[in-house]
Amino acid sequence: MRNPAPIPSNPTGIPRVLTIAGSDSGGGAGIQADLKVYAALGAYGMSAITALTAQNTVGVQGIHEAPPDFVRQQIAAVLEDIGADAIKTGMLASAAIVEAVADTLERFAYVPLVVDPVMVAKSGDSLLHENARTALIERLLPRTDILTPNMGEAAALAGMPVEDEASMCEAAKQISALGPRYTLVKGGHLGGSEARDYLFDGESFEVFSSPRIETKNTHGTGCTFASAIAAYLAQGLDAPKAVRAAKDYLTGALRHSLPLGQGHGPLDHAWAQRG
């Protein structure tokens, strides 16, 4: 393989973050949520769209995948000209799109990568074809800096039930062997007064706790958390500090979540700016 192309320098000092994900027409998740997070955290956000979804707070009514070659073009267009200080992936939909993303990122010099292995929407609708799971594991996880599965996604990736904190930790160990530098198994689906997430670096765990916010308006929680981590990595924070800062930001967004729509409403990504 030829030498990777360099990433353009950043003369502004403003962190640059690229999201590679699907579009949520309802604005609560996907690239819409990611770009809101980047703006709220002082970063310059860019996007490569992998799929269009007809989606609202109730569910996903339709999905139109982007051609893999066009996904390649979008990523290359951004990285060749503007560059990035961190990259986050969300909904990748198909094996062909996963391959396109992996192939294109390999053409460029290293940029910290956060992978949110989006498999199922909050409504239960599938967002990842079955054959894409293998491509994700084989092509993207080995170059991932921080992987952010929820309990269901961790179970699918580790090939084991994940039902409590002990199995979350065991799944993190199994997933770590697939290549990511850090695996963050999120415990938002567990009960209790605290939401506890487990970050595994291949040798030891760090636990991140925050008060559980009782609200049904949780649409886009995973996207928001992962994109906030990417924004903080782009600012130069190390992985544990980026996770801690992102979790604090997410807790505020959940505390100020918006009762919009008839289902799971969105978070308020601009809660800090509203005072």
Q: Could you read off the pLDDT of 193-240 as tens digits, one per residue? A: 899 999 999 999 999 999 999 999 999 999 999 999 999 999 999 999
Query: Does residue 220 have an active-site annotation?
Result: yes
pLDDT of residue 265: 97
Percent of the chain residues topping a pLDDT of 70: 97
Query: Does residue 62 have an active-site annotation?
Result: no
Domain-embedded: residue 4:
no
Given the residues 220, 224, 247, 265, the one annotated as active site: 220
- Counting the structural domains of the chain, the total is 1
Average pLDDT taken over every residue of the chain: 95
Tokens for 118?
A: 């989006």
211/246 Cα distance (integer angstroms): 14
Give the HSE-up count for residue 122: Cα atoms under 13 Å, Cβ half-sphere. 23
Say if residue 1's pLDDT is above 80: no
Given the residues 223, 247, 252, 265, the one annotated as active site: 223
Given the residues 88, 122, 186, 247, the one annotated as active site: 186
pLDDT of residue 129: 76
Domain-embedded: residue 9:
no
Say if residue 27's pLDDT is above 90: yes
Domain-embedded: residue 115:
yes
For 198, the enclosing helix (H) or strand (E) is strand 194-200
107/48 Cα distance (integer angstroms): 16
Say if residue 66's pLDDT is above 70: yes
pLDDT of residue 185: 98
Domain-embedded: residue 8:
no
Query: Does residue 224 have an active-site annotation?
Result: no
Domain-embedded: residue 93:
yes
Provide the pLDDT confidence category of residue 172 given band limits of 50, 70 and 90.
Answer: very high
Given the residues 83, 90, 187, 222, the one annotated as active site: 222
114-151 pLDDT, tens digit each: 999 988 766 666 667 778 889 999 999 999 999 999 99
Range of the domain at 54: 16-269
More confident residue, 26 or 132: 26
Domain-embedded: residue 27:
yes
86-104 pLDDT, tens digit each: 999 999 999 999 999 999 9
Closest CA to 24 of 40, 44, 4, 47: 47
pLDDT of residue 121: 62
Domain-embedded: residue 55:
yes
Query: Does residue 223 have an active-site annotation?
Result: yes
72/79 Cα distance (integer angstroms): 11
Closest CA to 100 of 129, 122, 121, 76: 76
Strands 60-65 and 44-55, by their bridges, are antiparallel
Considering only 185-189, 244-248, 264-268, which range has the smallest mean pLDDT? Answer: 185-189
Query: Does residue 50 have an active-site annotation?
Result: no
For 222-260, b/e burial (b = at least 16 CB within 10 A) is: bbbbbbbbbbbbbbebebeebbbbbbebbbbbbebbbeb
Say if residue 274's pLDDT is above 90: no
Given the residues 144, 183, 218, 224, the one annotated as active site: 218
Provide the pLDDT confidence category of residue 177 given band limits of 50, 70 and 90.
Answer: very high
Is 165 buried (19+), middle (13-18) or exposed (0-12) by CB count in 10 A? middle
Given the residues 53, 104, 148, 221, the one annotated as active site: 221
Say if residue 260's pLDDT is above 60: yes
Query: Does residue 202 have an active-site annotation?
Result: no
**CATH of residue 170:** 3.40.1190.20
Say if residue 189's pLDDT is above 90: no
Domain-embedded: residue 23:
yes
Residue 123: other Cβ atoms inside 10 A? 15
